[in-house]
Chain A
Amino acid sequence: MLVKAPALGRYVYWLDCLALLGVSAVLWLAFVWQLRLHELPCPLCLLQRVAFAMVGVALLMNLRFGIRPLHYGIAVLSALAGTVSAGRQVLLHIAPGDTGFGSPFLGLHLYTWALLAFLLLLVYCGLVLLSDTVDSEARPRKLSTLARIAAVAFLSILMINLVSTTVECGFGPCPDNPTDYKWLPK
């Protein structure tokens, strides 16, 4: 049961669906980019992917168990973690003359887009919390079709990222500027 549902609150479930679809799309885009351009993600890039996945878990919790402050706490901390790693990478390449890491996408590097996306997610969480919407109890509920599509897109890209990172780095650290997959023949 929804305890309080002002104007924005009625749409929170659908907004969470769209946000999870957006997070999944970002992860899919990064993976397609990696394959198409053969640009292997650096450790900071991989950390940003983990942070997107952590935000996605919080959104999935909202869809699966209802709207609870715990889930938005998880989303905010995850987005902050992503902001730290993306911000660090922006600062690494901010000096004049530095061409940055990887190819730009629509004029910005992927880590800059990631920083903007994490800030956008923080704004989203703030706005949703302002709606003061909360479910009375956290219990598992059926997912709508859109939520199921978002969840499947999210879980599948997480599995792909696990395999891809393992193939790239093995069971150890990744080099700062990876050029080859560790587990694939050169």
Chain B
Amino acid sequence: MIMMLPFATVLLSALYTWRGHRRAGAGWWWVTLAIYICWCFYHMTSPLNLSL
């Protein structure tokens, strides 16, 4: 699990958007979202000390 990876992909998304490449910007955003979801499973699946 590489924590800096979503920062790299979202930066690419922003840079492509800034440069006027909408499809590439949106594509890197999707990659960031996929990594985000994976990282959420890694960090957020331990049980909470709560009754929900």
Whether A associates with B in a native complex is yes
Inter-subunit contact A57/B13 (CB<8 Å): yes
Q: Which of A96-114 contact B (CB under 8 A)?
A: none
Q: What's the nearest-Cβ distance from chain B to residue A19, in Å? A: 15
Residues of chain B with a CB closer than 8 A to A151's CB: 18
> Of A9-17, A43-51, A115-123, which binds chain B?
A43-51
Interface string of B9-45 (1 = CB under 8 A from A): 0110111011010100110010011001101101110
Complexed CA–CA distance, A9 and B26 (Å): 24
Q: What's the nearest-Cβ distance from chain A to residue B14, in Å? A: 5
Inter-subunit contact A74/B26 (CB<8 Å): yes
Interface of A is mostly: helix
Inter-subunit contact A70/B14 (CB<8 Å): no
CB within 8 Å for A51 and B4 given contacts A56-B14, A138-B22, A154-B14: no
Is A81 an interface residue, CB under 8 A from the partner? yes
What are 20 A-B residue pairs whose CB atoms fall within 8 Å in the complex?
A43-B39, A50-B7, A50-B32, A53-B10, A54-B29, A56-B14, A57-B13, A60-B14, A61-B26, A65-B22, A70-B26, A88-B44, A95-B49, A155-B11, A155-B18, A158-B11, A161-B7, A162-B4, A172-B1, A173-B2
